[in-house]
Chains A and B, each alone.
Chain A
Amino acid sequence: DAGITQSPRHKVTETGTPVTLRCHQTENHRYMYWYRQDPGHGLRLIHYSYGVKDTDKGEVSDGYSVSRSKTEDFLLTLESATSSQTSVYFCALRPTGGNTGELFFGEGSRLTVL
C-alpha cells in the first residue's frame, strides 16, 4: 500500500459539466501520474507531475488539465466532460527514495459521462 487515495471512486456526470478527480498521497513523494484505462486501448498516460507546480503532458492530454499546488494532492480536471472521457482513471506515484523506478497505483475512479 503506497498510501494513495483517489476520490471520488465513482461518478456519473453529464456532457459539458466540469469534473475534478483527486489523487491524495500521505508520504510526500515527488512523482505522480494520471492514467486512463479503456477496453482496446489499455492504460495510457494523461499527465505527469515531478513536483509542486511542475507538470508535463502525456499521450492523451487533450481535454484534461492538472494541478499540483501541494505535494500530497494531484488533481485531474475535465473542463467540459465528453462521452469519450468515460473511463477508469488511475493515479500512480513513484517513491522518491530508493531510485528503483517502481510505480504504485491507486484503486481507480470510474467516470461515466452521459
Chain B
Amino acid sequence: KQEVTQIPAALSVPEGENLVLNCSFTDSAIYNLQWFRQDPGKGLTSLLLIQSSQREQTSGRLNASLDKSSGRSTLYIAASQPGDSATYLCAAPMDSSYKLIFGSGTRLLVRP
C-alpha cells in the first residue's frame, strides 16, 4: 500500500532563499507524483506533475524531481518570495485509477 510522507511539517525562511521540500513514498512502482499548493481556506492548485518515466519537471522558479529507487521527490523553490507562503502537498496514486494518497504537507512561511 502506498504511503506518502512529507518532512518538515513547517518551514520558515527569509525572502530570497532557495529551498527544498521533501516527499517520500513507499511503493517505487509509482505512476506519477503530483505537487500541489494550498493557500489558507482555499482549494488545491496543481503545481507540477512528474510521470514515472521522468526525472524532473520545471515551471518557472519551481523544479520537482523524482527518484523512484530511493522513494523520494523534492520540490525546489528558487529565490523564494513572501507570496510563496502556503502549504505544499505531494501526492501519489495508489493504483491505475489515480486515486491519490496525500502527504500531510509542508507549511511554508517566507519572511520579508
**Min C-beta distance of A30 to chain B, whole Å:** 11
Contact call B42/A45, Cβ cutoff below 8 A: no
Minimal beta-carbon separation of B48 from chain A (angstroms): 10
Q: Which residue of A lies closest to B4 (CB)?
A: A42
* Given A42-B103, A42-B105, A100-B32: A106 and B43 interface contact (C-beta under 8 Å): yes
Q: Which of A42, A56, A106 has the most CB of B within 10 A?
A: A42
Known: A42-B105, A101-B49. A33 touches B99 (CB 8 A): yes
Kindly state whether residue A60 has any CB partner on chain B within 8 Å: no
- For B44, the closest partner residue in chain A by CB is A105
Digitize B90-110: 1 where CB-to-A-CB distance is under 8 Å, 0 elsewhere. 010100011110111100000
Which residues of B are found within 8 Å of A27, using beta-carbon distances?
none
CA distance A63 to B102 in the complex (A): 22
Consensus secondary structure, chain B interface: strand
Question: Hey, which chain A residues are within 8 Å of B81, CB to CB?
Answer: none
The A interface is mostly helix, strand or loop, or mixed, namely strand
Q: Tell me whether A74 is interfacial, beta carbon within 8 Å.
A: no
Would A100 and B102 count as touching, CB distance under 8 A?
Answer: no
Minimum distance in angstroms from B26 CB to a CB of chain A: 16
Assess whether B49 is in contact with A50, with CB atoms less than 8 Å apart: no
Q: Which A residues are in CB contact (< 8 Å) with B105?
A: 42
Q: Which A residues contact B (CB, under 8 angstroms)?
A: 31, 33, 42-45, 48, 50, 56, 58, 90, 92, 94, 100-108
| Chain A to chain B contacts (Cβ below 8 Å), 23 pairs | A42-B89, A42-B102, A42-B105, A43-B89, A50-B97, A56-B97, A90-B43, A90-B44, A92-B100, A100-B32, A100-B49, A101-B31, A101-B32, A101-B49, A101-B93, A102-B34, A102-B49, A103-B34, A104-B46, A105-B36, A105-B45, A107-B42, A108-B43
